[in-house]
C-alpha cells in the first residue's frame, strides 16, 4: 500500500537578514518587509526600515552573534568584500546568498532572483518592467541631445576613485559620457583609483559629480584642487552631488532616483551648453 504524503508549497525564506541596503529596499517595494529580521546599519531606503528593523552589520563587518540570535533562514549580501561575513555565517549553518552585480543588467537579474526567492516573481517582473520603461524613456530623451557632456563621476576623493560599471552605464543612459570608461569595468574600488589627478584635468570634464560614500561631498574643495582651475566643469560651476544611497547601491535606488538625478543634471547643462 502506498501512502500519499501531503506537502505544503514552499513559501521561501521567512526570516531574512539583509547585509546591504538594496535588498532591503527591494523587499519593501515587494511588500515583503515582514520577512526581514535584520538590516545593514547603512540602510536609509526606505527610511522607516531603520525604525522597524535591528541593524546588525556595516559593510565589511557584522555582528555575527546578533545575526545568529535572530535565527535567520536566509542572509543576503553583496560583493566579494562580504566574503568573510558570509564564511562565518555559513560555518554556523546559516544559508547565505551573496550577489556580485556590477552592471545594470546584472542588477535587474538580481532583483528578479530575490523576488522569485520570496514568491513574488510576477510582482517583481512588473516592477522591473516599469523601471526598464523609465530607463528607455530617459535614453530616448538623451539620444536627442545635440551634444553629450563629458562627465567625471567621483566615488571617493583621496585617492580619486571613478565610477563603478552601473554608474558609468547610467551616465550614458542619462545623456553623458563617462571620462573613465576603461576603469568602469573594474569591480573593486582600488582598481578604479586614478593615481594621477592631472589625468582628470587632461580629460577636462564638462560636469563633475561627486558621491562620496560615507561622507559629505564638498564641491568647493573639488574646485580648489591644485591645477583644476582650468577644468571646464570648475570654470562653469558644473559640480554636483548625488547622494551615495541614491546611486552607489546596486538596486532600485540607482535605477530610479539615481539615474533621474543624473538626467536632470545633464538636461540642465544641455539647455545652457548644448
Instruction: Say how far apart CA 130 and CA 133 lie, in whole Å.
Output: 5
Angstrom distance (rounded) from CA 238 to CA 149: 11
Q: Which domains does the chain have, with CATH numbers?
A: 16-121 (3.40.50.1980), 135-273 (3.40.50.1980)
Using a cut of 0.85, tell me whether the model's pTM lies above it.
Answer: yes
pLDDT per residue of the chain (274 residues) written in tens, 0 to 9: 555 566 776 789 999 999 999 999 999 999 999 999 999 999 999 999 999 999 999 999 999 999 999 999 999 999 999 999 999 999 999 999 999 999 999 999 999 999 999 999 999 999 999 999 999 999 999 999 999 999 999 999 999 999 999 999 999 999 999 999 999 999 888 899 999 999 999 999 999 999 998 788 999 999 999 999 999 999 999 999 999 999 999 999 999 999 999 999 999 999 998 6
Amino acid at each position: 500500500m502506498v501512502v500519499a504524503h501531503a506537502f505544503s508549497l514552499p513559501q521561501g525564506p521567512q526570516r531574512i537578514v539583509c547585509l546591504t541596503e538594496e535588498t532591503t529596499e527591494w523587499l519593501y517595494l515587494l511588500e515583503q518587509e515582514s520577512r526581514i529580521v535584520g538590516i545593514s546599519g547603512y540602510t536609509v531606503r526606505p527610511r522607516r526600515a531603520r525604525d522597524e528593523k535591528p541593524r546588525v552589520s556595516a559593510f565589511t563587518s557584522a555582528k555575527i552573534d546578533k545575526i545568529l540570535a535572530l535565527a535567520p533562514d536566509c542572509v543576503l549580501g553583496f560583493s566579494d568584500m562580504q566574503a568573510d561575513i558570509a564564511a562565518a555565517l555559513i560555518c554556523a549553518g546559516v544559508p547565505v546568498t551573496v550577489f556580485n552585480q556590477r552592471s545594470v543588467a546584472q542588477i535587474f537579474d538580481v532583483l528578479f532572483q530575490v523576488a522569485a526567492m520570496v514568491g513574488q516573481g510576477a510582482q517583481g517582473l512588473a516592477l522591473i518592467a516599469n523601471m526598464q520603461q523609465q530607463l528607455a524613456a530617459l535614453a530616448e530623451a538623451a539620444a536627442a541631445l545635440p551634444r553629450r557632456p563629458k562627465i567625471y563621476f567621483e566615488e571617493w576623493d583621496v585617492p580619486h576613485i571613478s565610477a563603478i560599471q552601473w554608474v558609468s552605464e547610467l551616465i550614458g543612459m542619462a545623456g553623458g559620457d563617462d571620462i573613465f570608461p576603461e576603469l568602469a569595468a573594474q569591480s573593486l574600488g582600488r582598481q578604479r583609483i586614478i593615481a594621477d589627478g592631472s589625468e582628470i584635468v587632461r580629460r577636462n570634464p564638462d560636469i563633475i559629480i561627486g558621491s562620496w560614500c560615507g561622507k559629505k561631498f564638498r564641491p568647493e574643495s573639488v574646485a580648489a584642487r591644485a591645477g583644476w582651475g582650468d577644468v571646464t566643469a570648475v570654470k562653469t560651476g558644473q559640480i554636483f552631488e548625488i547622494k551615495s544611497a541614491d546611486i552607489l547601491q546596486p538596486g532600485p535606488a540607482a535605477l530610479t532616483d539615481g539615474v533621474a538625478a543624473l538626467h536632470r543634471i545633464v538636461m540642465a547643462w544641455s539647455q545652457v551648453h548644448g
